[in-house]
Amino acid sequence: MERQHRNVLVLSGCQATLQTTGATMTAVTGLAGFALADDKSFATVPLTFYVLGSAATTIPASLLMKSLGRRGGFQVGTAIGMCGAAVCSAAMVAANFWLLCAGMFVMGVYTAFGKYYRFAAADGVTGGFRAKAISLTLAGGIVGGVFGPEMAKRSKDLIEATPYLGSYLSLIAVCLVATLLLTRLDIPQLSESERSDSGRPLAEIMRQPVFIVAVLAAMLSYGIMNLMMTSTPLAMRAHDHHFNDAAFVLEWHMIGMYGPSFFTGTLINRFGVLNTILAGIVLLLLCIVAALAGTELLNFWLALFLLGVGWNFMYVGGSALLTECHAPAERAKTQAANDFMVFVMMAISSASSGLLLNKSGWSAVNYGSIPFLVLAAGATLWLVWKRRRRRSSSGSG
């Protein structure tokens, strides 16, 4: 098997483990936080600590991988993941809300490393395969999307005396599987000259229209998705839906997030990256329409499924677009800047979701997403216009 294809296969497997941990934590942590918090409006604060851990580590993780290489950096991340799952487990035994927050912060550190799987797949890949490599790596998340909610459902009461303890313990094994998979990863390290060359200043890279739109697509899609996904289990609980129904909805949400990745790269190559991002924005607007139409199981299911597909088109599109605006020597800092802004937006959305839901209800969560979609659409159409204008100028010249 060709090395670049084997690497995509390995990274897709690692993405499956990453998403298994993410789906499990999403399914149980809001509820675990609700059980442990004195003030129930703090229920999603542990998830906010999770995002803060990712945001704080995004830049150091990228720089560490520039030095150690992708495989070494990713294995540091999975080791941290096992530690984080152990701290969360200890928090459930001690019934300590703030220890759970600390454990989720450490799990966020692990996730910061794992979020670079998609960019690692594009390393050393030709332009024609780059979007597909990113897309197919993310496709591994469909395994976690199905397995994670099921694992949460079956493990949350595994230890009857301590609800949710079994779920967090199971994540240690999942991180161990990722560590073993990574032994098969073979991505060449940057050359000595590439490691020592800092390239253009980051401010210059960030001023590029391509960078601006790429970051907005990734940042806003993740922020909106996180805002709605984090609050869904609590919203469903408030409307008298069973935990198993919430797990079912999250399972289909994950399928929506990662299932399209088998063909999103092909869509990008055929219709263009900006058109794919715009399609994602339309799907997220339809998600809001479905959510506002009612609070039956069907409404939650359809809204979360559309949320997943819309996120996929915007996030894969934004990730592919980002590869157009940096040289290999600039890769670490450009990707770090992108993911740092994504995680900051996720932190804000995680903190907002519990407060919005508790104070204003499920509708407020949905209405609050609309201005950000308008911003993403405006920026993407701006870049479409700039590219058409440039082509027209080149043609007339």
Read off the CATH number of the domain in which 362 is found: 1.20.1250.20
Residue 312 included in any domain: yes
Instruction: Using 70 as the pLDDT threshold, list the residues of the chain that sit under it.
Output: 1, 124, 126-128, 190-191, 193-197, 354, 395-397
Q: Write the DSSP string, 79-112.
A: HHHHHHHHHHHHHHHHT-HHHHHHHHHHHHHHHH
Residue 243 included in any domain: yes
> Cβ neighbours of residue 26 under 8 Å, at least 6 residues apart?
47, 148, 229, 230, 233, 250
Q: What is the pTM (predicted TM-score) of this model?
A: 0.78
Helix (H, G, I), strand (E, B) or coil at 314: helix
Q: Write the DSSP string, 256-272.
A: HHHTTHHHHHHHHHHH-
Segments forming the whole domain that contains residue 72: 3-183+199-396
* Predicted local confidence at residue 78, as pLDDT: 97
Q: Following CA atoms 98, 104, 257, 112 in sequence, which dihedral angle do they give, to the nearest 10 degrees?
A: 140
Residue 148 included in any domain: yes
Residue 100 included in any domain: yes
Nearest-5° Cα angle at 12, 8 to 13? 120
Please name which of 333, 314, 121 lies closest in space to residue 218, comparing C-alpha atoms: 314
Nearest-5° Cα angle at 288, 287 to 291? 90
* Predicted local confidence at residue 383, as pLDDT: 95
76 in Cβ contact with 64 (< 8 Å): yes
Residue 188 included in any domain: no
Report the largest interatomic distance among the alpha carbons of the chain, rounded to a whole angstrom. 75
Number of domains in the chain: 1
pLDDT digits (tens, 9 = 90+) for 250-306: 888 888 988 898 899 899 999 999 999 999 999 999 999 999 999 899 999 999 999
Residue 189 included in any domain: no
